[in-house]
Amino acid sequence: MTALDLSSPVAVVGTGTMGQGIAQVALVAGHPVRLHDAVPGRAREAAAAIGARLDRLVEKGRMTAADRDAARARLTPADGIADLADCALVVEAVLERLDVKQDLFRELEDIVADDCLLATNTSSLSVTAIGGALRHPGRFVGLHFFNPAPLLPLVEVVSGFATDVTSATRAYETARAWGKTPVACADTPGFIVNRIARPFYAEAFAVYEAQGADPATIDAVLRESGGFRMGAFELTDLIGQDVNESVTHSVWQSFFQDVRFTPSLAQRRLVESGRLGRKTGQGWYDYREGAERPEPHTAEPAEAPAYVVAEGDLGPAGELLAMIREAGVQVREEDEDNGTRLVLPSGGQLVLADGQTSVEFRDVVYFDLALDYRGATRIALSASQDTSPRTLAEATGLFQALGKKVSVIGDIPGMIVARAVARIIDLAYDAVAKGVATEEDIDTAMRLGVNYPLGPFEWSRRLGRGWAYALLDDLHLRDPSGRYAPSLALYRHAYATDKREGSTS
């Protein structure tokens, strides 16, 4: 099954931001495009807005004037839905209400030809439920574009329970012909991106709610240590707190209130107060004129230790040993079967976040996961009230000697980056095991859909296949609510690896 022929008309119903964006994508690809909206006059306004964007593309040298004029000639506002009768594809981008979408597609089914592909751009509703209103649901598919549709490459092609393989394949190939990067997924709450991305927000909010760190510090650690383009607080302010919380709540409800997807009470209070982010001038941060952006907590300068004793290879943080030597700090190595720590001159230990808490041990400082310890510009440290001030100072000075800013947070098991990444990896393995999507498509979706520095499976391979399971298992012991319980898929993955390597750890 191949993509739609460029001579085939494409219709977009709903002319808001997403509808206009999808229409522009199809138009620039070469299709005749019909725009329809239930509100009189909206389709013509949308056509004018798309024309203005095409003008800007010409001004920027991204489109020729001739191509713009040809595209404008192919764009037609449709006053009535009957004007869509000859379209080969109709994409819906109307209000996110099941009854509204079902009524629309019932009406469309009476108008378009039997071989017309019908698609929804829903981000939160069930594709199966929307298609269930149709006499012929086999031709119904989800085409979930990301905003802004003309710029972001990802399209989730969602097969409902009754979607024919030929319909899904045609939708997939059409999206690819439009210059997009499609990924195939089953109809599951949140599809790929909105399902697997939940821990990025949830764990940042959980650290804040536990008074482990303030939003500016958490965001700085996610960016400067984790390699994420934006932190969770600034990103949700950009998305809109109401929009982000609505998606979280929808996924949580759709999974029968699964504790792994529980919404944040702190975010709920923010929405209730009307502080929805940039669009209202206040969210987690204050965007009003004259407001100052809060700075992340950064530790004062401390003296680096003269030496450290390395017990083991530090696992995912192994590159730190070479960096410490390069900084002029002596590294004494000791072979330890279970050692993955640095011992400081104080006698205290410096350990990579593992899901345990500092207060459980005599004198331990935890440090957070970094995507790239050489490239990271900030490292978070975690200590308890019982941690020796000297040990914390030596740990701070050591990372400062490596050229890093240091943020000291509360005694939070799994810290910030480590717990978020571990949970993202877990949800990814669970999704593959349940037939939602392939590993490759999940990695592609998370890199392109939400700009993650690595896909979950790429991250898992880099960190070691048992790393996420071990961290979540320790977290689950300390919070037995089920939120951090590793999935059966992750357990099988880690256990099979251990057996193959002859380990029983």
Phi, psi of 181 (to 5 degrees): -110, 100
Contact yes or no for 438/359 (Cβ under 8 A): no
CA distance 127 to 139: 12
Q: Is 244 a catalytic residue?
A: no
- Angle value at C-alpha 359, between 356 and 364, nearest 5 degrees: 80
Q: Is 319 a catalytic residue?
A: no
Contact yes or no for 431/192 (Cβ under 8 A): yes
Of 92, 109, 156, 224, which one is the catalytic site residue?
Answer: 156
Indicate the length of the chain as a whole number: 505
Of 124, 126, 194, 244, which one is the catalytic site residue?
Answer: 194
Of 121, 123, 167, 460, which one is the catalytic site residue?
Answer: 123
Contact yes or no for 91/12 (Cβ under 8 A): yes
Q: Is 144 a catalytic residue?
A: yes
Of 31, 92, 126, 144, which one is the catalytic site residue?
Answer: 144
Contact yes or no for 14/94 (Cβ under 8 A): yes
CA distance 19 to 145: 10
Q: Is 156 a catalytic residue?
A: yes
Give the chain's radius of gyration (CA, Å).
Answer: 26
Residue entry with tokens 């790429």 = 458
Cβ neighbourhood burial of 337 (10 Å; 0-12, 13-18, 19+): exposed
- Angle value at C-alpha 405, between 401 and 407, nearest 5 degrees: 120
CA distance 218 to 170: 43
Longest dimension (CA), the chain: 79
DSSP 3: P
Any idea which residues carry the catalytic annotation? 123, 144, 156, 194
